[in-house]
Copies of this chain bind each other. A is one copy, B any other.
Amino acid sequence: MTYCVAIKVRDGLVLTSDSRTNAGVDHIASFRKLYVLEIPGDRVIFLQSAGNLATTQSVITMLQHQVKSAERHVLNVPSLFDVAELVGKTIRQVISRDSGQNQGVDFSCNMLVSGQIKGDEPRLFHVYPQGNFIEACDDTPYFQIGESKYGKPIIDRIIDFDTPLDRALQCSLISMDSTLRSNLSVGMPLDVITYHADALESPGIQRIDETNEQFLKLRAAWSEGIRELFDNIPLFIKGE
């Protein structure tokens, strides 16, 4: 599996993806699940993927090929809504191409499409395996794909549209840590993007691996903090 989270706050976007791919516990590999397409100064588009690796790699590659050969592509359509539509259409094409000889394989994938096009705000979409999609709004400023449940409570408790960018990054890393601890199919290293609104170019992908001292400190501080909080909270409810 995979765990990706994308948060859209007033100040910009925070995107976090793990990099584990597995087909059974004995076939584990590390693959990027975070991609950038951009024309600096005009637009920057981020793609995060979860699901069948063959499908997601095909979708990304076909979107890149479209830039060279198609009339409409992600780097020339007028809005991020159109980008989400193109991604959805491409997902449908790949899944229908591959699922002829199904044999019980799950070809589906989910993608998060985010970024900013000049003249518009940063936007964030979740594109489903069926190719349809939804957009994040101020009330629900984040989307998750993959193994999303373990890391959802901390985001639900902390994130709103006014959370500062650095705090949103820290929250998404704690969410990732909770998931890493509880589910073997999500694994380091992590790929992270912290995009400041109106930058209109990618800040580059920040890679956090097992030896990253700051991440280890964060894990330890959170883990100790939770234990301390738990130990110090009064025993409100006693067994009867």
Contact = CB atoms under 8 A, between A and B. Distances in A.
Contact of A182 (B147, B153, B238): B153
Contacts of A206: 239-240
Contacts of A183: 149
A169 B223 CA distance: 20
A107 to B, nearest CB: 21
A210 interface: no
A67 to B, nearest CB: 26
A73 interface: no
A178 B158 contact: no
Interface residues of A, number: 52
A178 B221 CA distance: 21
Contacts of A181: 153, 156-157
A226 B182 contact: no
Nearest to A195: B239
B239 A14 contact: yes
26 contacts: A14-B239, A147-B149, A149-B149, A149-B150, A149-B183, A150-B150, A153-B179, A153-B181, A153-B182, A158-B226, A158-B227, A167-B230, A170-B230, A170-B236, A171-B230, A173-B237, A174-B230, A192-B239, A194-B239, A203-B240, A206-B239, A214-B236, A217-B234, A218-B236, A225-B229, A229-B229
Sort A-B residue pairs by CB-CB distance and give the 7 closest, nearest first.
A194-B239, A149-B149, A153-B178, A218-B236, A214-B236, A225-B229, A206-B240
